[in-house]
Amino acid sequence: MKRRELLQLTVLTGLTSSLPGMLEATPEAASSSDEVKPLTPPAAGHIPVAFLLGEGAVVIDFAGPWEVFENVHIPGPVPHPFQLYTVAESEAPIEASGGMKILPNYTLVNAPLPKIIVIPAQREPSAALVNWIRKCSRTADLTMSVCTGAFVLAKTGLLAGKSATTHHGAYAEFAMAYPDIFLKRGARFVEVGNLATSGGLSSGIDLALRVVERYYGRSVAQGTAGNLEYQGLGWTNPDSNSIYAKRRAATDEHPVCPVCDMDVDRASSPKSVYRGRSYYFCMPTHKKLFDSEPARFVDA
């Protein structure tokens, strides 16, 4: 999915209207007593993993973790321990990113009770979908979001007072929409109790490998990564997205959107002038956000 389309998902969720709050929250302020502990596999049977899909679901956000869980192999009577299935609000086909059509395995009404919930980036979640996440998270071992799926998870209220991350291009919007969540910039993933959030897109693969490690140990996770021919080591270091911790600096030669740091074209991009300086935006919605309180973006 193109980055511009991905960022538009945050616009479509209607979350950009919540302007109060800090542009950047400090992760150090999130003091949680929840310790990240190993996860306990069941004595028998599988670990049910629900991939919650809505319109516009970003393929790599759910397909990456799907392949990770699918490729886990352990010794014993249940060599492939994860039971994977998709869940949607109805039985109607879902159109994911790039036009992929997906026929959900289950609806919110008849889905098996999950032990892991995976929430990819997608469009506006319904109240029923949000309530399903909130209800099923009570008994799940882990509820995890990938990329701007963090906006969907945040809408449940479960992340309030906790640390979280999302796609680096959505940091500003996330912090403004949810000032009660401590945004951690530059995190590959963040784990707090039975919740976890990952950075953008491929970060979900690393978070899924980390989940495998919490269940079955590092050697099994390494074996899974090897089977996938996945050489990334982000799953071993939650701070490995540090390249995104610092905002990009705009210059006259290379302007970037002050909301999401995306490269922009001065000749065709929306423009605002603040304190005598011109600012260019990747989309009109980001110009609107900037114009509402420009000092938040300029002084951050």
Mean pLDDT, to the nearest integer, of 200-228?
98
Q: For residue 289, give the 3-state DSSP assignment.
A: helix
Residue-level pLDDT at 10 = 61
Q: Which residue, 117, 275, 271, is CA-closest to 204? A: 117
**If residue 54 lies in a helix (H) or strand (E), which one and from where to where?**
none
In the block, tokens 């999401």 appear at: 260
| CA distances in angstroms from 293 to 275, 283, 290, listed in the order given | 13, 17, 6
The pair of structure tokens assigned to 271 is: 């423009």
Q: Return the beta strands (E) in 72-213 as ranges.
A: 82-88, 94-95, 101-102, 106-107, 116-119, 142-145, 163-164, 182-183, 189-192, 195-198
pLDDT of 81-101, one tens digit each?
A: 999 999 999 999 999 999 999
pLDDT of 272-283, one tens digit each?
A: 999 999 999 999
The three-point CA angle 101-131-180 to 5° equals 105
Residues 6+ apart with CB under 8 A from 86: 50, 51, 53, 62, 94, 102, 104, 105, 106
What span, in angstroms and rounded, lies between the C-alpha atoms of 164 and 182? 6
In the block, tokens 């939650």 appear at: 238
Amino acid at 269: S
Every domain of the chain with CATH number 3.40.50.880 lies at: 3-244
Mean pLDDT computed over every residue of the chain: 90
What span, in angstroms and rounded, lies between the C-alpha atoms of 32 and 115? 22
Tell whether domain 3-244 is in CATH 3.90.870.10: no
Every domain of the chain with CATH number 2.30.170 lies at: 248-300
pLDDT of 137-187, one tens digit each?
A: 999 999 999 999 999 999 999 999 999 999 999 998 999 899 999 999 999
What span, in angstroms and rounded, lies between the C-alpha atoms of 69 and 213? 11
Q: Which fold has domain 248-300?
A: Ribosomal Protein L24e; Chain: T; (2.30.170)
CB 54 within 8 A of CB 44: no
The pTM assigned to this predicted structure is 0.87
| CA distances in angstroms from 162 to 24, 76, 165, 168, 194, listed in the order given | 14, 37, 10, 18, 11
Is the pLDDT at 119 greater than 60? The verdict is: yes
The pair of structure tokens assigned to 52 is: 């919650």
What span, in angstroms and rounded, lies between the C-alpha atoms of 176 and 271? 21
Q: Which residue, 74, 132, 130, 82, is CA-closest to 107? A: 132
pLDDT of 232-244, one tens digit each?
A: 999 999 999 999 9
Residue-level pLDDT at 127 = 97
